[in-house]
Amino acid sequence: MTQLASAGVRRAADLPERYNAVEILERNLPHGADAVALLSDARACTFGQIAEEVDRVGNALLGLGVRPGDTVAFLSLDSAEWAVSFFACLKIGAVAVGMSTLLTVKEQAFILRDASARVLLVHASLVTAVRAALAEAPSVEHVVVIGSEGDNDDPFFIYESWIAGESTELSAADTHRTDYATLNYSSGTTGQPKGIFHSHQDCALTAQLWGLDVLGLRPDDRTFSVAKLFFTFGLGGNLLFPWFVGASVVLYPGSPRKATDVLGVVDRFRPTILFTSPTSYASILAVEDFASIYDLGSLRLCVSAGEALPAPIWQEFHDITGIDIIDGIGSTENFHIFVSNRPGDVRPGSSGKPVPGYECRIVDPEGNPVPRGDIGNLHLKGETATLFYLHDPERSRQTFLGPWMDTGDKYIEDEDGYFWHAGRTDDMLKVGGIWVSPVEVESALIAHPAVLECAVVGASDGSDLVKPKAYVVLQDGYRGDADMRAALVAHCVEQMAAYKRPRWIDFVEELPKTATGKIQRYRLR
Ligand code: 3UK
């Protein structure tokens, strides 16, 4: 594997032209093969063990006919097998498609088909759910089940036996640094999720630009991300960036909603850096006496992303634990964080300052810079921004503007150069750091026989975090009471992931509309 300049990789040109991001793992082998790479309840592995298993999985994937450029989908909560298979994909030049475990069957089928996935690695707990999706995803030739003892009726491979006889010799595919390594899906305002590719070079560049240069990751760090590896927030923060510096990672397959589980993982595995969303920090704060019940003494820093972290949450967490939360804005389009607070330089409530290596400009709708202190649309320039949305040229042309991309976020830069998030240019909501399209919630509500019309907007909960709120006009003969509210929420949860459900429902006589009959969501907000 090519040796990289010790001075760092801050521009693509600092990497060799032929570069395979498995180097991020394998750079640890000469001096750190016996160092701990990964910890979880199920397994603990050194870099040497991971690298050997990567070669086995890589060979097994080659054996299934996977070739450079082919896509391999992952549907599983975090596990050692996820991390290993991810690097195996990279090593053979295949593209790893991290799928959210919160998707509906319809969305799973869409992604498998849209990505033309040839192989699916799925966790045993999700096999039943994905079976229906597979029926609509003809590209998938093979399914490998992880975390299972196996079921003889299935034509599926079982991970352990699938790799058992494989060789631990494998040379990395001769990939160009701009060849694609990952494909992630992000929700849009309407319709289907959109596919976003990232290349081998984006993995190394984001590790250097934010992981090292801003966050200051060190070899003695141990990261723990509640945000999963199928989000690029988790993939960077809890796999690529720590391994880039030889640090270890803690993998946790649980939900961010179980704050006591999250705290228990910190207590047991003693990470130095915690990555999660503002909603998750708020739920930690809601656990009475959390800092005396759980030992958080190992933590030196926390990171927040996915949605804006309200200053009161930052302050309360700091008052109780003494730990700084580093809030930074990132996106799947850019792979990771591009405006960030930094250790020793935090302005609570703000997203911090542009990460060196990226340029930001705040512009009016015509693309002209607004005076400092005015609100405008945030445009981003940097080498790790993706170039297009898969199968959506129209949307791609609107978003990717030559060297710049339109983030869809509104921002204000203050007199000291800190950036303050000021909403979205579309109607999209971030709930617990995850996208919710109001249109999708409205479509679910309108399918209920009692609903005549509805509109969904973001409203603030008790912690200044956004949650969906619905305004509903009922059909004649229905009563807007507590039972109706409960029925509508239950109906939504049947059709969508539960986090998308409306937290409040107001029954109204009519909705504000334009002369052409379009609902004016901004008036409801
Ligand atoms: C919003 C934030 C205010 C913002 C992500 C870190 O969230 C990530 O990626 P997504 O594609 O969403 C991107 C959008 O989410 N957002 C994210 N972080 C913040 N708004 N303050 C923040 N700190 O609207 C952005 O456009 O899901 C975050 C790293 C990698 C990621 N993919």
Query: Could you tell me the distance, in angstroms and rounded to a whole number, from the CA of residue 332 to the centre of ligand 1?
Result: 7
- β-bridge partners, 122: 75, 145
Amino acid at 519: I
What does residue 362 show for φ and ψ, rounded to 5 degrees?
-110, 120
Least Cα distance to 328 among 372, 273, 291 occurs for 273
Best residue among 350, 389, 430 to mutate for probing ligand 1's pocket (most ligand atoms within 8 Å of CB) is: 430
- β-bridge partners, 431: 434
Question: Residue 171 burial by CB count (10 A; 0-12/13-18/19+): exposed, middle or buried?
Answer: exposed
Name which residue sits closest to atom 7 of ligand 1, judged by CA: 306
d(CA 380, CA 257): 32
Q: Which residues of 183-204 are buried (b: 16+ CB within 10 A; e: fewer)?
A: bbbbbbeeeebbbbbbbbbbbb
> Closest ligand 1 atom, CA of 424?
24
Angle at 233 between CA 93 and CA 302, to 5 degrees: 140
Query: Could you tell me the distance, in angstroms and rounded to a whole number, from the CA of residue 306 to the centre of ligand 1?
Result: 4
Contacts of 208 (CB under 8 A, 6+ apart): 8, 9, 10, 244
Residue 322: left (phi > 0), alpha (psi -120 to 50), or beta?
A: left
Give residue 503's pLDDT: 97
Query: Could you tell me the distance, in angstroms and rounded to a whole number, from the CA of residue 135 to the centre of ligand 1?
Result: 33
Give residue 182's pLDDT: 98
d(CA 227, CA 238): 9
Give residue 36's pLDDT: 98
d(CA 279, CA 464): 10
Give residue 519's pLDDT: 84
Question: Residue 300 burial by CB count (10 A; 0-12/13-18/19+): exposed, middle or buried?
Answer: middle
Name which residue sits closest to atom 17 of ligand 1, judged by CA: 306
Least Cα distance to 173 among 200, 198, 202 occurs for 200
d(CA 266, CA 172): 35
Give residue 283's pLDDT: 96
Using only the alpha carbons of the chain, give its radius of gyration: 23
Stated length of the chain:
525
405 close to 379: Cβ distance less than 8 angstroms: yes
Query: Could you tell me the distance, in angstroms and rounded to a whole number, from the CA of residue 138 to the centre of ligand 1?
Result: 32
pTM attached to this predicted model: 0.95
Name which residue sits closest to atom 24 of ligand 1, judged by CA: 409
Is the Cα torsion angle 277, 282, 283, 285 positive or negative in sign? positive
Lining ligand 1 with CB less than 6 A are 186, 231-233, 305-308, 327-332, 336-337, 351, 407-409, 421, 424, 430, 433, 435
Name which residue sits closest to atom 12 of ligand 1, judged by CA: 331
Give residue 7's pLDDT: 78
Q: Would you write out the chain's pLDDT as a tens digit for each of its 525 residues?
A: 455 656 789 999 999 999 999 999 999 999 999 999 999 999 999 999 999 999 999 999 999 999 999 999 999 999 999 999 999 999 999 999 999 999 999 999 999 999 999 999 999 999 998 999 999 999 999 999 999 866 656 789 999 999 999 999 999 999 999 999 999 999 877 778 999 999 999 999 999 999 999 999 999 999 999 999 999 999 999 999 999 999 999 999 998 889 999 999 999 999 999 999 999 999 999 999 999 999 999 999 999 999 999 999 999 999 999 999 999 999 999 999 999 999 999 999 999 999 999 999 999 999 999 999 999 999 999 999 999 999 999 999 999 999 999 999 999 999 999 999 999 999 999 999 999 999 999 999 999 999 999 999 999 999 999 999 999 999 999 999 999 999 999 999 998 999 999 999 999 999 998 888 888 888 888
Please name each of the domains of the chain with its CATH number.
12-29+43-197 (3.40.50.980), 256-424 (3.40.50.12780), 430-524 (3.30.300.30)
d(CA 196, CA 194): 7
d(CA 443, CA 453): 10
